Amino acid sequence: MLRIEAVSKLFNPGTVDEKIALMNAKLHLKQGDFVTVIGSNGAGKSTLMNIISGVMAPDAGEVYIDNKDVSQISEYKRSQWIGRVFQDPMAGTAPRMTIEENLAIAYKRGKTRGFSLGVTSRTRKIFRDELSRLGIGLENRMGAKVGMLSGGERQALSLLMATFTRPQILLLDEHTAALDPARAELVTSLTDNIVKELKLTTLMVTHNMEQAIRLGNRLIMMDKGQIILQVNEDRKKYLTVERLLGEFEQISGKKMADDRVVLG
Ligand SMILES: Nc1ncnc2c1ncn2[C@@H]1O[C@H](COP(=O)(O)OP(=O)(O)OP(=O)(O)O)[C@@H](O)[C@H]1O
Ligand SMILES: [Mg+2]
Span 51-68, average pLDDT: 96
- Picking from 14-23, 51-60, 107-116, 126-135, which range would have the lowest pLDDT averaged per residue? 107-116
110 pLDDT band (50/70/90 cuts)? low
105 pLDDT band (50/70/90 cuts)? confident
Q: Report the candidate in 85, 34, 47 with the shortest Cα–Cα distance to residue 226.
A: 47
Pocket test for ligand 1, best of 36, 45, 204, 206 (most atoms within 8 A of CB): 45
Pocket test for ligand 1, best of 38, 47, 84 (most atoms within 8 A of CB): 47
* Count of residues in the chain: 264
Residues in the ligand 1 pocket, defined by CB under 6 Å: 11-12, 19, 21, 39, 41-47
CA angle 169/67/203 to nearest 5° reads: 25
Kind and range of the H or E run holding 7 = strand 2-11
How far apart CA 132 and CA 85 sit, in angstroms, is 20
Indicate whether 7 pLDDT > 70.
yes
Span 129-149, average pLDDT: 93
Indicate whether 263 pLDDT > 70.
no
pLDDT of residue 119: 72
How far apart CA 140 and CA 94 sit, in angstroms, is 19
Share the mean pLDDT of the chain.
Answer: 91
Kind and range of the H or E run holding 23 = strand 19-29
Atom of ligand 1 at shortest distance to CA of 207?
A: 25
182 pLDDT band (50/70/90 cuts)? confident
Ligand nearest to the Cα of 40, by number: 1
Span 34-53, average pLDDT: 96
Indicate whether 126 pLDDT > 70.
yes
pLDDT of residue 115: 53
CA 211 to ligand 2 centroid distance, Å = 17
Q: Report the candidate in 189, 183, 186, 162 with the shortest Cα–Cα distance to residue 173.
A: 162
How far apart CA 61 and CA 255 sit, in angstroms, is 30
Ligand nearest to the Cα of 259, by number: 1
CA 198 to ligand 1 centroid distance, Å = 31
pLDDT of residue 164: 86
Indicate whether 117 pLDDT > 90.
no
Amino acid identity at 104:
A
